[in-house]
Structure 1
Amino acid sequence: MTAHKSILEAFVKLGNYIHDHCDNHNIKTNNKYNDLNDVIIRAGQQNGWFTKESVLFSLEQWSKQLTHENLTKWLSKYKQNRTSEPKTVGVIMAGNIPLVGFHDFLCVLLTGNKVLAKLSSNDTVLLPYFANYLIEQEPSLVDKIVFTEGKFENYDAVIATGSNNTGRYFEYYFGRKPSIIRKNRNAVAVLTGKETKNQLRELGEDIFKYFGLGCRNVSKIYVPKAYNFDEFFKAIFGFQKIIYHHKYANNYDYNKAVYLMSEFKILDNGFLILKEDTSLSSPIASLFYEYYDSLPRLREQTNIQKEEIQCIVSEGLFSNEIHFGETQKPRLNDYADGVDTIDFLLQL
């Protein structure tokens, strides 16, 4: 597939702009990025989870992907070029982590379609700013980017991301149109007890980045019987400052109180609660764990639960595994829920 050259180049320019900002955001004399600095501050004021560190991390990951080489290599595997009229694709975005809907936004525009975006009330600042930057680089995009607060009208397809509850609503409401409907998913990690201290520290990144709010955050670990949790706790001790974030601390205190009042057996290091549980989705400041008897049985179990698992972190245990510390560094072809968004859009 060959994307419209000027639109692709606009995203490349955006990537360069973000990269330069991430390199220079602490230089007070640099006025070039004052507007973006203000946007990052406003995003944090709107959503207390969007700390400057979290937003900058998200921006840095996107700057690494929005290069001419990465974009053209990603799109080169798709053979079909658009011959029909551009379609209007409604995109309902989540607001759990900064710019979580940007990949859908990117896919719609690079396939020559028009994006009709409904932003989460928790994330209304960042994407419109970058959309305006793109329009400045490529004025034709002004007719291809629309943000709406009301009901979708005059659309041809929908990409919607939400919870299991909203997912059922989306399926009912948008079921007559071509659609991608995403529900709750979580990442899990499988440990053997032979992991290095550095691997366990990197696992901490997968657990704590974005305060654990992303669908790619590890919310559960599988461990062998008699696993020594002391080594795990020692390795992640460097993340202790997360407890100084008031929203995280409130969740930690609340969940710990609930577990203790319910007389659940928990492990606790002062900023993370470990609880044995068969569920995949753990509350904020908590991490579920489950013992496994054999890896073959665990592979069968995770295969049965594949519709609930976004990704698996391990080392040499699963064919589709992700390395420790890499869950929040997805590449352009790491599609949410394993559904190829570009292919979906090219079939419209």
Structure 2
Amino acid sequence: MDGFPSGEQILAGLSHALMVVDSQHVVSWVNPSGEALFGTSAKNLIGRQIDHVLHFSDPRLDAALTEQDISLTARGVMVSGDERRLGIVDFDIHPLASDSEWRVISLSPMPQDGPILESENSGPSNLAIRAPDILSHEIKNPLAAIRGAAQLLDRQLDESQKPLTQMITAEVERVVNLLNRMQTLSSNQPAQTKAVNIHTLIDRARRSIEAATGQVVKIKDKFDPSLPDALIDPDAMMQVLTNVLANAVDATKHLDNPEIRIVTRYSFGASLSAQGENEAIRLPIQIMVCDNGPGVPAELEREIFSPFVSTKKEGQGLGLALVKKLMRDMNGRIRYDRENQDEMSRFTLFLPVAPKS
């Protein structure tokens, strides 16, 4: 067909960044979208080692850049160039089928909405976390067996021992509800919110972690007894609290003098504009979970709520990304920082107040 564009013209017209790397891991070609992403011309990128051009917050992705035969896809990862952050992208690297000496790298930028504390006017989450990336529906089968075993055991125990089996049953049901929720995690279905006493949930989360670890979790708490009920989804909030508190326990487990604090208070400071609403929603209920562990490395502080970013060697970097999603579903927000006074790591949860009935 006369006038039909060449293959290179088609590649050059794609909206996502493409790079071609040779067997020595040297950049050999960059399309115009790649130039736009890096903020420089292809001339300044071609001829350079790819691991000098791209830098990921996850070292596993950095290592993949110089693995000749690897094929890898990662969704929603933070990437940087030489001197600046390029943003959150979907990343793909694979050898050419026709010639494995060459590899193609694709970087597709994702919309960003502020990983530490989202802006008041941000829309629904664009976080691409799907249930198949995190959990399989097959998990429900062993969970059903665990619940059935706990119910049978409950019939044989005396009253003093039944709270343990009841906790098992309650936790299994909570996880099943979470699995159901995660199957539609990428959708924007509203959370099942109601008025809940957050102090009750905090105590449940602590007892859940104690049951899982087999040890008493020592916490210094400072609760505001006059705090009103929060308008939240109790199952989702239990997942948030359990995740954040478990992180604090894990961060302090090797310390000689571990310290974990939970503070609740009422503050008029935070608000957000929910999608489709003209009036801002106030978030005066605050839960602060603090610990004296090593904290988040400075280079990861702004990315810890992004998927696949983790400070743990064995971590997959999905826990806090899910926490962020669950908080947004409840019209809440989460922020990470370090206290100036004693340099404790601090996660602050911002929640709306339940309307008076």
TM normalised by structure 1 equals 0.23
Q: TM-score, normalised by structure 2?
A: 0.22
Structure holding more helix per residue: 1
Relative contact order higher in (CA < 8 Å, ≥ 6 apart): 1
Q: Which structure is larger by alpha-carbon Rg, 1 or 2?
A: 2
